[in-house]
Homo-oligomer: A and B are copies of this chain.
Amino acid sequence: MSEFIWPVRVYYEDTDNGGVVYYANYLKFMERARTEWLRSFGIEQDQLIAHEQVIFAVRSVKLDYLKPAKFNDLLQVSAQIIKCGGASIIFEQGISRDGEILCQAEIKIASLDAITLMPRPIPDVVKTILVEEKE
């Protein structure tokens, strides 16, 4: 499947006293990229909740910090699906700056019922994209 890239600028809000991006905030950047990847196929998550009663939740995260991002950096955040089950998706994501990789992650997402928060099959409208992406 092809790789999606979303640009993210580092602002003061993202940094900490150590002069670098605070370690939890890379997860914000990665979620922005996953959201924009879905949007690039015309899928809006507020519509998924309203019309399909589906919400995506993160089940697990593996994250390696290789080099720090700094204030004012322009980062490239990638999102690529590496596995897709009935009610879960595994993303491989990376954050880089000028071609240098700063951070790598594997993030498992579950498809849940927006009300009961129990597992619920990935909606067809999303499934279709995943199949097309694979071909």
Tell me the A residues contacting B by CB distance below 8 Å. 9, 11-13, 15-19, 22-25, 27-28, 31-32, 35, 44-46, 55, 57-65, 68, 70-72, 117
Indicate if the CB atoms of B71 and A65 lie closer than 8 Å: no
Nearest to A32 among chain B residues (CB) is B11
In the bound assembly, the distance between CA atoms of A135 and B25 in angstroms comes to: 36
Q: Contact between B16 and A15 (Cβ–Cβ < 8 Å)?
A: yes
Bound Cα distance from A72 to B23, whole angstroms:
17
Nearest-CB distance from A79 to chain B (Å)? 14
Tell me, in angstroms, the Cα distance from A29 to B12 when the chains sit together.
11
How far apart are A41's CB and chain B's nearest CB, in angstroms? Answer: 15
Known: A16-B17, A31-B12. A63 touches B64 (CB 8 A): no
